[in-house]
Structure 1
Amino acid sequence: MKEIVAVIKEQFQHMGMIFRMSRYEDKATYQSHYLGLAWQILNPVIQIGIYYLVFGVGVNQGREISGVPFIVWMLIGITVWFYVNSSILGASNSIHRQVGMVAKMKFPVSVLPTINIVSNLSSYFPMLAIVIVTVLGFGGTPSLYWLQYIYYFFCMFVFLFAFGLLNATITVLIRDYHIFLQSVLRLLFYVSGPIWDIQNRNLPPVLVKVLRINPIYYIIEGFRDTFLNRAWFWEKTTYGFIFWGMVLILLILGSHLHMKFRAKFVDYI
């Protein structure tokens, strides 16, 4: 627990630096592009259009899912997925990519994954605004359910931090791990629920229960429960306990490995 406390303490102590570096990272990524930061919105919008044509119009033939227009249902899930996917991959490579900074100065290495996660919020929040406008445009109405967005956002951020710290450490120790993680995320895209409703796919009930244990699925469905006014988070107590149990395990492993090896990161790289 001391390692977890030490890592979390570093995040709060260097919060100002985290936000400053995340803004710099955004500008640095798109500084050579004519449209600049606009690509943070244009890129996911183009992808959403493609997914809707393939899976909404083509595969699903425009049918509603549980009484919800497919575009609304998909947009909520895929917006979460884009943020989660980019944050996992970015955080996993954050320490290895910034090895020069780590080597030349005394630097709180544990904040590097967090910087990437915060940086991706600059594209997530505009997409969230599009989600809200779309939900309202198709007849959705704000309700008390929308208040639990705070809970699910907190779930998402803590999960990304715990998983990102673990992935970033392993990537330094085993460089091939980052490529392996990319392959795993391609699989998770189809089983985490952003474009497929796994509960209505004639899958064996046991398999559906296993897939619902996936923490990313828990987050995506949580946001759908929120914006579609479907259920409160405490109505899924079992899956909530499973989710937080998995997050705690990831945080323990990530903090332990990070504190154990970070003094030798430069040597490994």
Structure 2
Amino acid sequence: MKEVVTLIKEQLGNLGIMFRISRYQDKSDYQSHYLGLVWEYLYPLIQIAIYWMVFGIGLKKGASEGVDYLSWMVIGITPWFFMNSVTLDASKSIYQQVGMVSKMKFPVSILPSIKIISNLSSFWTMLVFSIIIGFFKGGITPSIYWIQWIYYFFAMIMWLVAFGIFNSTVSILVRDYRILLQSVMRMLFYMSGVLFNFQTDAFPPAFVRILQLNPFFYIVNGFRESMFSEAWFWQHSTLTIIFWLFVIFFLLVGSHLHYKFRSHFVDLI
């Protein structure tokens, strides 16, 4: 538990550095492109358009009853794109910054969290776009349920911090782990209810209950239920407890591994 407290202190105490490094990396990534940082906002919108055209017709019956499929799909794919990008970027954040790790004295634990900040711009862009689609195509109107987005956003960030510190450390200890993680994330894309609603009578109840244990599903479904005013998060008490147990587990294990091997990162890389 002491390691978790230390990790959280390092995150909060270095927020300024994290934001500065994030801005620098964003500019560095897009400096050779004509549109520059515009791609950070344009890319997620292109992705939404592609998935809508490819899956919009064939899977539109997979959405919740009475809900426009495009509105349903976009609000779910928004947190997924963010979580997928952050998860994969964070897993290689320490490995890629070996030069910075060896030459600069600052907490290495903030490197995965920098990836969270770097991807926030595209997340906010997609969320606003999702709300606009909901207004004009889905007939969605603001409701008190929307306040839950604050909770689900916080839950998403905490999950990404915990999962990020775990993945970034294990990726150094086990070189094949990043390849495995990429494959797992591809599989979870279809098992997190992003493109179709598996909470229907078409799927066996036991199968549905297993898929609902997925932390990524918890966040995706939470954003949807908030958008369409379907339920409060405390009405899913069992899933909420399981989700936070996942967060605590990866935070404890990830923090322990990180501080145990941090002094050997440069040698291991």
| Distance change >3 Å, CA 63–CA 167, structure 1 → 2 | closer
SS at match of 1:198: coil
Q: Cα distance, 1:63 vs. partner?
A: 7.5
Which residue does the alignment assign to 2:113? 114
Map 1:184-195 to 2 at 5 A. 184-195=184-195
CA distance in 2, matches of 1:175, 1:198: 34
Unmatched 5+ stretches in structure 1: none
Matched, 1:77 2:59: no
Q: Which residue of 1 aligns with 2:145?
A: 145
Other-structure match for 2:132:
133
**Deviates further, 35-44 or 76-85:** 35-44
Paired with 1:112 and 1:61, the residues of 2 have a C-alpha distance of 39
**How far apart, CA to CA, are the structure 1 residues paired with 2:108 and 2:246?**
23
Output the TM-score relative to the length of structure 1: 0.97
Name segments (4+ residues, structure 1) moved above 6 Å. none
Residue 173 (structure 1) shift: 1.0
SS of the equivalent of 1:230 reads coil
Any idea what the Cα deviations from partners look like across 1:62-81, whole Å, max 9, x if unmatched?
Answer: 77632110000000011111
Tell whether the 8 Å contact from 1:56 to 1:62 is kept in structure 2 after alignment: no
Deviations 1:165-202 (Å, cap 9, x if unpaired)?
00000111112111110000000000001102111372
Is 1:234 paired with 2:199?
Answer: no
Q: How many residues align?
A: 268
Rate the CA distance shift 1:167–1:63 in 2: closer, same or farther, 3 A.
closer
- The aligned counterpart of 1:220 is 220
What 5-or-longer segments of structure 2 have no aligned partner? Answer: none
Distance 1:174 1:219 in 2: 28
Q: Does 1:197 align with 2:197?
A: yes
Q: Is the contact made by 1:63 and 1:69 (CA closer than 8 Å) also made in structure 2?
A: no
Superposed, 1:1-269 pairs within 5 Å as 1-57=1-57, 59-60=58-59, 65-137=64-136, 138-200=138-200, 202-269=202-269
Asked if the contact 2:63–2:197 (Cα under 8 Å) also holds between the matched residues in 1, the reply is: no
Shift of 1:146: 0.6
What's the % identity of the aligned pairs?
A: 54
Work out the CA distance in 2 between the residues paired with 1:208 and 1:131: 26
Deviations 1:115-144 (A, max 9, x none): 011110011111111011111213111111
Q: CA deviation at 1:61?
A: 5.4
1:169 partner amino acid: T
Contact persistence 1:101–1:107 (CA under 8 A): no
* TM-aligned CA deviation for residue 42 of structure 1: 2.0
Q: What TM-score, normalized to structure 2?
A: 0.97
Alpha-carbon distance between aligned partners in 2 of 1:37 and 1:263, rounded to the nearest angstrom = 35
